[in-house]
Structure 1
Amino acid sequence: MTLWSVVNHGTAEKPRSHGWTRALLLALLAVLVVGVGAVLVPRDAGKPQALPFSETARSEALSATEALLDSASLLEGTTPGGAAGEASGGSGLPDSVTLLTNQARALLPPSGQPASSASRTPGGASPKPPSPGSVSPSSAATPDTTTPTAFVSALSSSASRRLADAAQADGGTARLLAAVGTSQLLESSRLATIWGLPVPEATPGATPAPTPAPSCPALPGMSATAAPPPGTASSRADLPAAVGAVVSSEQEAIYAYQVALTKLDAKASATAATWLARHQELLRGAEAQGRLHCVATPPREAGYRLPASFAAKPGAALGGMEASSLTAYADLVALSDGETRQWAIDGLVDAAKRSQAWGTPVGPFPGLSIDSAALPPLPSSTPAP
């Protein structure tokens, strides 16, 4: 018997004697409806949903970079140049302020998307545990970072966190975080050298060679998974094309370094010999990545066309070649995941360091073509440290 039948049962025969029973049951029914309704309404309906990891990582990077920018701006007017700084034209901080400003502008949320930070907004996504040696966005803004030593340490820690997050974020965000982290790492080393401080130890760990797939389909010269041959422009944005671009870049670098050994002075030649061995190792690693993903990589060529300035300034030409390889590594970061992405991140940092060592700066976004003039301005109400 249903509740309604209970309510109506016997009412035709005894409407007066059982009127109080019907009223009581109707009240009970109302209580049940209210109770069911309360159960059906989500208890957490008013709380914001957790942010995706990529958005949280971008927001944390923005918060940390803004804090570093504030500290750099304060240091700019208080840090003397010192002997090394005077030789290089001051404390080096004006360039740091410009670099961090552009990075913060690039890390702003897309137009129309509300700015949010898991580290600042109650109810947002829970911040993930910091990686070893990392600094949280809030701690980056403490007064301690307004000393040269602490600022270099905070900059290096932020770089390590950005590179760690790049390994887990979505493709486009991963590429941006890897570029920002690489640039901040190089900037911390540059300032440490100017100020006579120990250079931060943040060399990327050696990524083990990947284990090839147990079996791959036959890969003809230009199959659906084959990389484009050297010197051939490709509009494809996929993993095979990205792996092929890195392989071609490393092949060209090996040839250039071999030629440069005969043109550099003794000290530079020793450095070039070391980095030639590194490029040979990177080429083997890139070819191993191709085998891992069943990609037909470009074959090795007998020679490559070198820049016209190579004979007169081989060091500068090598720096330009290292800088040009950053795009291939950054693309591979965006189009891969897992151990391949980590290998690409390490390669990006490695190439940026060599480029800077040869005197070719890599800017705030190594491997990315970003027009700083087109970036949105920072909000005027940037939080103070």
Structure 2
Amino acid sequence: MNHETAEKPRSHGWTRALLLALLAVLVVGVGAVLVPRDAGKPQAVPFSETARSGALSATEALLGSASLLEGTTPGDAAAGEASGGSGLADSVTLLTSQARALLPPCGQPASSASRTSCGASPKPGSPRFASSSPVATQDRPTRAAFLSALSSSASGRLADAAQADGGTARLLAAVGTSQLLESFRLATIWGLPVPTATAGATPAPTPAPSCPALPGMSATAAPAPGTASSRADLPAAVAAVVSSEQEAIYAYQVALTKLDAKASATAATWLARHQELLRGAEAQSRLHCVAIPPREAGYRLPASFAAKPGAALGGMEASSLTAYADLVALSGGETRQWAIDGLVDAAKRSQAWGTPVGPFPGLSIDGAALPPLPSSTPAP
């Protein structure tokens, strides 16, 4: 009896030790599963976010420089710079709108370059005008330096648009196009060399080896230029560009008989360009196995076309920007690059006919709905 009593505590002791050992093994095992090996390693920032953040920094830098230049009196201008109206008030307004559109959405994690979004004031000492622009470090930049920075920013935005995600690509392409045209406008006002255009001819794509039989497409299948498509996909976007170019060719052919000699020569050059763009759009259709919309016998022209054909052509060019911007968002690779070039091309023609394209060519953005800039950013 005494022997059994002595063995019982010893048995309980071994049992408790075994349970504790098993518990320790379980804790270690679970911990190894629950605690990631690279928990402290920061996640890679997506390219689209990096591109948007870089665009915001560059645009803020340009805004700061434009505000400084706007306050420069003609007597303070650097030697060789034209005096008189600077034209910078419109630049400040344009860059402010673009910076507001490039702010990250409220509630979205922001990178270190844009943590003061949603109107929040930046922390003391935080840089608001990044060094991505060469004029950002100057107290009073020259007009030539500002033009160089503006053109450089435009090139950067257009290059990033070729690689970013759809929605970001469309915004970057619009901002880059607008900044490029703004550099042209200011160069003309200031009597300085016009920056070199970045967009060029994109070679025709190689069609797919084989496509399924494509049924005939009715005249109403593709959206009219300047109108919203009921579909948001690549085939609809390509078809919209084809239809837009078909209408442009018709309008320019009619305009040739109504314009004066100088404007008619310009229209003839751009008619040839639209014929080239139509061939490119049809090549994009074949590349993606998309049925090509048939050409119409005629198109309804604006009522003002007879009296002011140049202005009507400018409005038509501006309306085609939506089709190209949609194609930028919905495509990739060589098709997107072709669409970016087409967007820049159409915006240049629109502005040349006297129709401004604003800060976001091809996009419908309500400026009143954009978030405010941080308090340290210059306001127009």
* TM-score between the two structures when normalised by the length of structure 1: 0.81
Total equivalences in the alignment:
379
- In terms of mean alpha carbon deviation, does 115-124 or 216-225 score higher? 115-124
| 1:355-377 Cα deviation digits (max 9, x unpaired) | 00000000000000111112111
In 1, are the aligned partners of 2:242 and 2:281 still within 8 Å (CA)? yes
Matches within 5 A, 1:38-49: 41-42=35-36, 44-49=38-43
| 1:119-147 Cα deviation digits (max 9, x unpaired) | 99999999999999999736452218721
Per the alignment, do residues 247 and 85 of structure 1 end up closer, same or farther by CA in structure 2, a change over 3 Å counting?
Answer: farther
Per the alignment, do residues 233 and 126 of structure 1 end up closer, same or farther by CA in structure 2, a change over 3 Å counting?
Answer: closer
Per the alignment, do residues 90 and 41 of structure 1 end up closer, same or farther by CA in structure 2, a change over 3 Å counting?
Answer: same
Per the alignment, do residues 338 and 324 of structure 1 end up closer, same or farther by CA in structure 2, a change over 3 Å counting?
Answer: same
| 1:157-194 Cα deviation digits (max 9, x unpaired) | 00000000101111111100000000000001111111
In 1, are the aligned partners of 2:208 and 2:289 still within 8 Å (CA)? yes
In 1, are the aligned partners of 2:328 and 2:340 still within 8 Å (CA)? yes
In 1, are the aligned partners of 2:66 and 2:92 still within 8 Å (CA)? yes
| 1:300-331 Cα deviation digits (max 9, x unpaired) | 12211111111111111110000000000000
Per the alignment, do residues 20 and 238 of structure 1 end up closer, same or farther by CA in structure 2, a change over 3 Å counting?
Answer: closer
**How far apart are 1:111 and its partner, in Å?**
1.9
- In terms of mean alpha carbon deviation, does 233-242 or 285-294 score higher? 233-242
In 2, are the aligned partners of 1:166 and 1:174 still within 8 Å (CA)? yes
In 2, Cα distance between equivalents of 1:45 and 1:124: 32
In 2, Cα distance between equivalents of 1:166 and 1:134: 22
Matches within 5 A, 1:1-385: 41-42=35-36, 44-78=38-72, 80=74, 90-117=85-112, 137=132, 139=134, 141-143=136-138, 146-222=141-217, 227=222, 234-382=229-377
| 1:50-80 Cα deviation digits (max 9, x unpaired) | 2111111111111111111011011101153
Per the alignment, do residues 73 and 314 of structure 1 end up closer, same or farther by CA in structure 2, a change over 3 Å counting?
Answer: same
In 1, Cα distance between equivalents of 2:265 and 2:281: 25
Per the alignment, do residues 179 and 229 of structure 1 end up closer, same or farther by CA in structure 2, a change over 3 Å counting?
Answer: closer
* TM-score between the two structures when normalised by the length of structure 2: 0.82
- In terms of mean alpha carbon deviation, does 218-227 or 148-157 score higher? 218-227
In 1, Cα distance between equivalents of 2:41 and 2:5: 48
In 2, Cα distance between equivalents of 1:367 and 1:10: 92
**How far apart are 1:223 and its partner, in Å?**
9.8
Secondary structure, in 3 states, of the residue corresponding to 1:334?
Answer: helix
Residue ranges of structure 2 left out of the alignment (5+ in a row): none
In 2, Cα distance between equivalents of 1:288 and 1:202: 24
- In terms of mean alpha carbon deviation, does 109-118 or 209-218 score higher? 109-118
**How far apart are 1:83 and its partner, in Å?**
14
In 1, are the aligned partners of 2:153 and 2:176 still within 8 Å (CA)? yes
In 1, are the aligned partners of 2:202 and 2:338 still within 8 Å (CA)? yes
CA RMSD across the alignment: 6.0
In 1, are the aligned partners of 2:219 and 2:294 still within 8 Å (CA)? no
**How far apart are 1:45 and its partner, in Å?**
2.2
In 2, are the aligned partners of 1:118 and 1:127 still within 8 Å (CA)? no
* Identical-residue share of aligned pairs (%): 91
In 2, are the aligned partners of 1:85 and 1:194 still within 8 Å (CA)? no
In 1, are the aligned partners of 2:158 and 2:340 still within 8 Å (CA)? yes
- In terms of mean alpha carbon deviation, does 375-384 or 117-126 score higher? 117-126
Q: Which has the higher contact order (CA 8 A, sep 6+)?
A: 2
Per the alignment, do residues 23 and 245 of structure 1 end up closer, same or farther by CA in structure 2, a change over 3 Å counting?
Answer: closer
